[in-house]
Amino acid sequence: MQALTNRAKAVDRKPMSFLEKLYVVNIAKGMMITLGHFFKKKATISYPEEKRPFSPVFRGLQILNRDEEGRERCTACGLCALACPAEAITMEAAERLPGEENLYREEKYAAKYEINMLRCIFCGLCEEACPKDAIYLSETFAPSNYQRKGFIYGKQDLLIPSPKENPGEYQKAIGNRKAN
Amino acid sequence: MHSALLAIDLFLVIEKLVLIVGIVSISLVIAMYETYAERKVAAFIQDRRGPNRAGPFGILQPLADGLKLFMKEEIIPNTSNRFLFILGPCLAMMAAMMTSAVIPWGGTLNVFGRPVTLQIADINIGILYVFGVVSMGVYGIMIGGWASNNKFSLMAALRGASQVISYELPMGLSLIALLMLTGSLKMSEIVAQQMDSTWNVLYQPLGFFIFLVCAFAECNRTPFDLPEAENELNFGYHQEYSSMKLGFYLFAEYINMFISSVVMATLFFGGYDIPFFNDAAHTDWGNWLVALQGLVLLMKVGFFIFLFMWVRWTIPRFRYDQLMNLGWRGLIPLSLINMIATAAFILWKSNGYKF
């Protein structure tokens, strides 16, 4: 049979010599190997202090975006809920009243917007479906919780901080992504 | 009778008490940090980082482990023999601690004009005492395994007892060769001889090697950790133990490791002798020299403890028949040959190298 690689070695079935039977040499060899590993650089990343950088295409928790003036972009069209393969998104629409122009960008907005993070599979189809660039996936992941209902994220959890009122937090939430 | 003979030397009592408390607490602290060192060494050998959360570099980890063990629920099985069940870990701990009594930890200190030898008891049968106490350690295993009333524990205890007894033989035989060289059983005498000439390991390399292997077996360390074989006997003789009683068993193992390292350093590596340094020429350093000697002894001990751990994380466990084979068919003949060769050499030397 032809070998797949040239690294294949025939098994040596010779009886052990006296020196090999003593095992001392081989034990010393093995101990040198472990001593070598003792001084090797460790692969571990000490997690909370040191974080592994995410890849640019990482899909984490959803964020509801605002425009430059801090108005919510979402119009509650329901395309994200429709696109969602896990049926994690539910929403209720409401009409913008006069005087709320600084809060919502269009005449219709989402009064209630919930994502069940236990159902969400972080596929990013909501981000692709959104015609208004209102939802995108951030670079954080869902923190643990003691209760199931803690995983249902409402608007107050999802909405990005306003760029006008809280620019620092806004930049942090945006991360490396291009806003809008 | 003269009244001075009846008077109790109060200073001596205080001196010995301070020494006992000091040595016991030092060996406890060292055993504590051995657990930390073990985890660190294991981690480093396996390319990990080891405990580094409790305090800087994780140095408070042993305290956290101890606290955890103390807080755990203490379970005594209904079917167990309650008295023996509690006696087991106490015996293991006691046997481990008692050995340190005859070990010379350094030269003679000068405290307020009074010479204080850094040795609890300089008895003239030091090595025999060490042997006697070390073999008592098997009672801890045996009683613990028996009192648990559990098949696995009993089996492990039997294994442990037979292992310790089998390996005591080559250990003793390898020491006989050493004792023929030194001509004394007194620990301080053996160290003094090594300080004047060279270390015994140069005269008895094979004897040291046999002693080392047997020390691994006596301490139930890998490759000889059959009594507590986790994957065959569910942790062996301490399976039924919980809380600090388990902690005592584990702790006794680490104290044993420390003590056997000290015994090895004392018998074969010159004890508190500082290598490449003439101690006798620097007696004007006084107590500092003694402190330095103690430190050097601890450094030698540290190396041996590292060796114990290094071996543990390199070599897998023996099968039981391999263990017995090595003990009875490997080490005992080897140590007998070593003994006879040493005896012949000594005879030859005393005859003036003439046949």
Domain range summary for chain A, segments of one domain joined by +: 62-174
The domain made up of A62-174 has a fold known as Alpha-Beta Plaits (3.30.70)
Q: Does B333 touch chain A (CB under 8 A)?
A: no
**Residue A114 carries which DSSP code?**
E
CB contact under 8 A, A37 and B44: yes
CB B258 within 8 A of CB B38: no
pLDDT at B231: 66
Q: Is the pLDDT of residue A180 over 50?
A: no
CB contact under 8 A, B52 and A37: no
pLDDT at residue B266 greater than cutoff 50: yes
Mutate to test the interface with B, among A31, A39, A47, A49 (most CBs of B within 10 A): A31
pLDDT score of A178: 56
pLDDT at A68 over 70: yes
Q: What pLDDT score was predicted for residue B5?
A: 61
CA pair distance A156, B339, nearest whole angstrom? 83
Q: What is the mean pLDDT of residues B316-327?
A: 85
Residues A37, B46: C-beta atoms closer than 8 Å:
yes
* B57 touching A (Cβ < 8 Å): no
Inter-residue contact B328 to B170 (CB < 8 Å): no
pLDDT at residue number B78: 84
3-state helix, strand, coil in chain A (%, to 5): 25, 15, 60
What is the least distance, in Å, from the CA of A53 to any CA of chain B? 20
Structure-block tokens of residue A76: 């509650």
Closest CA to B298 of B258, B332, B349: B258
Element spanning A64, H or E = strand A62-64
Q: What's residue A179's pLDDT? A: 47
For residue A170, which of A19, A38, A90, A67 has the smallest C-alpha distance?
A67
Predicted complex ipTM exceeds 0.95: no
Q: Write the CB contacts of A16 (distance below 8 Å, at least 6 apart in sequence).
A: none
Q: Would you list the domain boundaries of chain B?
A: 63-350
For the record, the structure tokens of B135 come out as 């073999």
Residue B336: the pLDDT is 92
Return the CA Rg of chain A: 28
Please give, rounded to a whole number of angstroms, the shortest distance from the CA of B182 to a CA of chain A. 28
Provide mean pLDDT across the span B264-277. Answer: 83
- Residues A102-154 pLDDT 10s: 888 888 989 999 999 899 998 989 989 999 888 888 887 777 889 888 889 98
In this prediction, residues B202-207 reach a mean pLDDT of: 86
**Minimum mean pLDDT range among A51-55, A169-173, B85-89:** A169-173
Long-range contacts of A171-180 (CB under 8 A, 24+ apart): A173/A63, A173/A138, A175/A138, A175/A139, A176/A56, A176/A139, A177/A136, A177/A138, A177/A139, A179/A65, A179/A68, A180/A65, A180/A67, A180/A68, A180/A133
CB atoms within 10 A of CB A109: 22
Say which residue, A151 or B115, is predicted with more confidence: A151
- Taking CB atoms and an 8 Å limit, are A42 and B45 in contact across chains? no
- Give the count of beta carbons closer than 10 Å to the beta carbon of residue B267: 28
The sign of the dihedral angle between the CA atoms of A30, A32, A36, A37 is positive
Query: How far from B217 is each of A134, B268, B308, CA to CA, in Å?
Result: 69, 18, 11
What's the token pair of residue B126?
């030091």
- Could you tell me the pTM of the whole model? 0.79
Residues of A in contact with B41 (CB under 8 A): 38
Q: How far, in Å, CA of B214 to CA of B225, rounded?
A: 12
User: Picking from A2-16, B196-210, B232-246, B293-307, which range would have the lowest pLDDT averaged per residue?
Assistant: B232-246
Q: Which of A117, A112, A132 is nearest to A59 (CA)?
A: A117
| Nearest 10 degrees: Cα torsion B222, B224, B225, B231 | 90
CA distances B141 to B158, B247, B254, Å, are 9, 14, 15
Q: Indicate whether B36 pLDDT > 60.
A: yes
Name the burial class of residue B2, with classes exposed (0-12), middle (13-18) and buried (19+) by CB atoms within 10 angstroms of its CB: exposed
